[in-house]
Every structure is written in C-alpha cells, then in structure tokens.
C-alpha cells in the first residue's frame, strides 16, 4: 500500500509541530517548506535548523527524529517534488496562539501557498484557521464560511481576519477543493502536559504561579469575565481529531474544533487555582499579574461558538469529552517548570555539589517511591528481583526497590533470601541530577559511561526500559530542595 503524503505549509507552532509528529507516527510522509539561511525576506516560514529542532522536540528527542527522518523532507519556500502526488495540502500559516513567532507575517504566506495549490490542482486543501478570525458582530463564531466579521478588538484578531479572508478568496478564485478547521488556543498534552511552545495561556500560568509564592493570599484575584468562555484545547486532542478528520472522506467541510465540554472562565480558573495551591478564584477590576494585552482581551471577551459540526465529528470519531480539571493543570505546570517556562537556563548559574546531592537524594528518597507502579515493576523486574541505585559509591547514597505483595518497597539495602535478581545502577550525583532533569538521556549516559548497569542480563534491558518510562511519564519538578532533606525510610 502506498504511503500517504502531506505538504504542510507554515511555521512550526504549538499545533503544526505535534501534527507533523502525529502524521509521521501514523505512517504518513510529510514535506515541509522552509526558508534558507540566505533568504532575508520577512518570511512566515522557519529556517531549516529551527524547524528540525522543533520537530525533534515534538517527536520526543533526536533518536525518535532519526527513526522518522526518511519520511520527512524539507523543501525550499516554493518548491515541490516533480512527479509527487499529494493526498493533502495543509495550510498552517497562522500559529494558533497569539504570541507565537511569525503570527504577524501569516497573511504574507497566502500568495506563496496559492502557487503550490495551483501546481497541485485537484489535491484537497486543508486549512487550519482561528476562531478569532471569524467572530461576527453578535460575538458568535459561525460554521458558515461567509459571515460579517466584527471590528477586531486586538491585533491578533485583526491578523486572523486578514489571513482567513485573503486565503479563502484566493482558493475560491482557483476553484480549489478545500476544508476548514478553526482552532482555539492550544495548550499542553492531557497525558503529561508536554508542549513545544510556551505561548498563549502559559504566560498567565507562569505569572500566577510565581506570584503565589510572594503573596500570602489563598484567593486568586484576576481581572476576567467569569461568565464567558476562553476557548482552548489540549494539543493531543486537537491533533488526534485533525488526523481522523483528514482520513475521513465524508468529513464535514467546516468544523469549529473546540471542547465538547465547554467550561466558563470561573470553572477552569477554579481548577487552575487549586492546581497551584490556592483555595478559590474571584473576579477583580485590577490584579497584580502581567498578562499580555491580547490574552487580557480574550479573558474578558464573551464569545460563543456554534458547534453543530463539532458534535458530528466527535460522534463519528468516538472522541471522549475533554476534561480540564485540577490534575490536567497540575501536569501543565509541572512540565512547564521542568522546562523553565521555555526560557534558557542562566548560563552563569553554578550549582554546588551539595545542591546536586540534595536534588538526587530527594528524587530517590521522596519522588521516585511515589511514582513506581507496582504492576509495571512486576512486569519488568518480577517478584524475585530488585532495582538498586548507587550514587558516588557511597553507601549513604543508595536505595533499593523490590516488590512485596502489591507494594513496591524502598529500603536502604536489600534484605531477604527471596531476592535473586538484582539490577544495580551506579552513577554520580551530578549524572543522576542531569538524568532526572532530562539534560541527558539514559542512552547517552550509558554511551559516555556516566552510568553503569550491573545485574542479571535477562532483565537489564527491562530495568532500563522501566526507569526510562518513569523519567518520561513522571518529570521531576524543578523545585528548591530544602537543606534538611529527610529520609522517609529512617525518619518518622
């Protein structure tokens, strides 16, 4: 069976990056236009180096990228490969979040994309637009394409309107076959909070999280409209539904992709407040948070979205309701902290050996025992096996895990004659700190001999896979380690 091919136009954004990764995982081949280093025009496209780095992140690392790179082709700005027939031309020229790079240049991409669509006339065109591009005078986003848009209330909304009008006019003049999906703002994955762009709502999350440690108040006081809805969606839900819509030959022509469980601002902000450790949220005319102007406008704007097409899509693809609760926001914030909210860590910050040791000890003593699932441990190590970690060849820095009944028990040393298969991980405290903060992968640590593994050859690889899964599924929070970190095994 011939693999399907997609030509995706636009910068790598919070949506298009994960979408490309999802299509590659589904067996699609993807061709992506990029600008060369010698292209000095204010192009809406990315340089190849930046696009590749973003896709590596979306795919889960360089190893994953290498596994899929034979399905991915980077092309020049207006280039396509002769003789290639595409199954879809996907236009992602406008990043869905208002503060992502190249948003202001989105409408410039239309004329360039039209040349591509003209070369491949007959290939269906899939447009990712924005809800904020089609708001009518009555504040409703329709499912019909022709609507009288209201006067833009923000620069972002104005860009969206210009972009959508220009694009649809050009496609109609070419008599192209096109489909339109309007996207809300995009947030992190429901599974682990991952994102490749800390834009949109993350500016609000970061400010609230940082200010919480400064103020003693237990209430989040924010300038917002509690009875309106700010439309946003987790990235994994958005990309999955888009892929199903792409594969469906009976797809609706226009779909407003929003959550089927739309929550008012007062509802989802309440869950966010709980995730940060506050008791409640209340409306205030003024607040202390530095929020981008466009986001502040969205928090106070009362927008309704017609969702008839959405319910048809969700029913056809059996997409479960999206739950935006306290656990979801906790995952978003935990992941964002581990990545320093998308900011580069200060180069002049030198961590003392004492801080490194405290971090490693906190991970193995307090964090790891709470996140080792007994069923996964049994499948990997078994009832007669144990997993041990040794730091700096110091007996004071050693921890062992074994299964006792249905519980994984952590102890300072392995006891009992029933344990016959032991896997030992030996490393320095600095290596351990780099691993738990994802500054280095397990594979690279082994290759550079920063990590040594000893034990039964039959379960060594299973033990490595187990720890790798824990590192991926349960990122260690970037928190300040107290100087009096206690051992929960010996202290009660």
Tell me the DSSP string of 251-297. Answer: --SEEE---SS---HHHHHHHHHHHHT-SEEEE-SS-S----HHHHH
- Residue pair 148/137 in contact (Cβ under 8 Å)? The answer is yes
Cα 404 from Cα 88, distance rounded (Å): 54
Instruction: Provide the pLDDT for residue 489.
Output: 37
pLDDT of residue 56: 93
DSSP notation for 136-176: BTTSEE-SSS---BPPPSSHHHHHHHHHHHHHHHHHHHHT-
Q: What is the mean pLDDT of each run of 10 residues along the chain (492 residues)?
A: 87 96 95 76 79 92 89 82 85 91 71 80 91 94 89 91 85 84 95 94 91 72 94 95 92 89 91 90 88 92 88 80 91 90 64 76 84 80 81 80 79 61 87 88 84 84 87 75 40 36
b/e 459-485 (16+ beta carbons within 10 angstroms → b): beeebbebbeebbeebbbeeeebeeee
Q: Is 96 exposed, middle or buried (0-12, 13-18, 19+ CB in 10 A)?
A: buried
Q: Cα separation of 474 and 484, whole Å? A: 24
- What's the maximum distance between 2 C-alpha atoms anywhere in the chain? 79
CA angle 22-28-29, nearest 5°? Answer: 115
The answer for residues whose C-beta is within 8 angstroms of residue 195's C-beta and 6 or more apart is 14, 186, 187, 188, 189, 202, 235, 332, 335, 336
Give the span between the Cα atoms of 488 and 486, in whole angstroms.
Answer: 6
Question: Would you put residue 342 in left (φ > 0), alpha (ψ -120 to 50) or beta?
Answer: left
Contact predicate 28/6, CB 8 Å: yes
Q: How many CB atoms lie within 10 A of CB 284?
A: 13
- The first and second tokens of residue 425, run together, are 């991980």
Separation between Cα atoms, residue 167 and residue 162, nearest integer Å = 8
Count of C-beta atoms within a 10 Å radius of residue 100: 21
CA separation for the pair 130, 115 (Å, rounded) = 23
**Residue 324: closest CA among 368, 383, 261:** 261
The domain ranges of the chain are 5-198+229-261+304-320, 353-473
Name the nearest CA neighbour of 142 among 152, 155, 129: 129
Evaluate whether 444 touches 306 at the Cβ level (below 8 Å). Answer: no
Is the domain defined by 5-198+229-261+304-320 classed in CATH 3.40.47.10? no
Tell me the three-class secondary structure of 97-129, residue by residue: CCCCCCHHHHHHHHHHHHHHHHHCCCCCEEEEE
> 235-247 and 16-25 helices cross at what angle (nearest 10)?
50
CATH superfamily label, 353-473: SCP2 sterol-binding domain (3.30.1050.10)
Q: What torsion, rounded to 10 degrees, do the Cα atoms 132, 136, 141, 145 define?
A: -100
The crossing angle, in degrees rounded to 10, of helices 265-276 and 326-338 is 50
Instruction: Give the pLDDT confidence score for residue 200 in this predicted structure.
Output: 94
Structure-token match 């910050």, residue found: 349
C-alpha radius of gyration, the chain, whole number: 25
Distance between CA 90 and CA 88 in Å, rounded? Answer: 6
């Amino acid at each position: 069976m011939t693999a399907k091919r997609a030509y995706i136009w636009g910068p790598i954004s919070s949506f298009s990056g994960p979408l490309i990764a999802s299509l590659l995982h589904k067996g699609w081949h993807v061709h992506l236009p990029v600008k060369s280093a010698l292209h000095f025009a204010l192009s809406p496209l990315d340089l190849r180096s930046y696009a590749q780095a973003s896709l590596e992140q979306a795919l889960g690392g360089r190893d994953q990228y290498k596994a899929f790179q034979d399905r991915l082709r980077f092309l020049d700005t207006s280039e396509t490969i002769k003789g290639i027939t595409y199954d879809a031309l996907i236009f992602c020229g406008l990043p869905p979040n208002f503060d992502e790079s190249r948003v202001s240049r989105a409408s410039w991409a239309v004329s360039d994309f039209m040349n591509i669509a003209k070369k491949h006339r007959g290939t269906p065109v899939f447009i990712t637009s924005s809800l904020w591009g089609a708001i009518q005078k009555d504040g409703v986003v329709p499912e019909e394409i022709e609507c009288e848009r209201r006067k833009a209330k923000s620069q972002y909304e104005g860009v969206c309107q210009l972009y959508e009008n220009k694009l649809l006019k050009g496609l109609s003049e070419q008599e192209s076959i096109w489909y339109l999906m309007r996207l809300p703002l995009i947030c992190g994955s429901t599974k682990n909070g991952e994102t490749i762009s800390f834009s949109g709502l993350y500016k609000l999350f970061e400010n609230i999280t940082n200010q919480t440690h400064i103020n003693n108040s237990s209430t989040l006081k924010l300038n917002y409209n509690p009875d309106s809805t700010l439309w946003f969606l987790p990235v994994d839900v958005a990309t999955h539904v888009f892929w199903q819509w792409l594969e469906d030959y009976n797809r609706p022509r226009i779909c407003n992709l929003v959550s089927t469980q739309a929550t008012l601002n007062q509802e989802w902000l309440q869950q966010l407040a709980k995730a940060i450790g506050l008791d409640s949220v209340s409306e205030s005319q003024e607040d202390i948070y530095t929020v981008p102007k466009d986001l502040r406008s969205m928090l106070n704007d009362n927008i309704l979205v017609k969702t008839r097409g959405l319910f048809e899509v969700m029913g056809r693809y059996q997409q479960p309701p999206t739950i935006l609760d306290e656990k979801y926001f906790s995952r978003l914030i935990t992941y964002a902290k581990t990545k320093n909210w998308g900011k580069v860590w200060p180069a002049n910050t030198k961590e003392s050996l004492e801080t490194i040791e405290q971090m490693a000890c906190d991970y193995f003593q307090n964090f790891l025992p709470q996140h080792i699932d007994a069923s996964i441990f049994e499948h990997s190590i078994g009832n007669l096996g144990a997993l041990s970690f040794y730091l700096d060849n110091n007996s004071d820095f050693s921890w062992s895990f074994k299964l006792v009944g249905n519980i994984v028990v952590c102890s300072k040393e392995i006891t009992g004659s029933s344990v016959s298969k032991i896997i030992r991980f030996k490393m320095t405290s600095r290596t351990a700190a780099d691993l738990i903060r994802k500054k280095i992968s397990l594979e690279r640590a082994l290759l550079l001999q920063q990590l040594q593994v000893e034990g039964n050859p039959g379960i060594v690889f299973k033990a490595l896979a187990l720890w790798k899964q824990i590192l991926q599924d349960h990122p260690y929070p970037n928190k300040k380690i107290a100087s009096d970190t206690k051992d929960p095994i010996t202290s009660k």
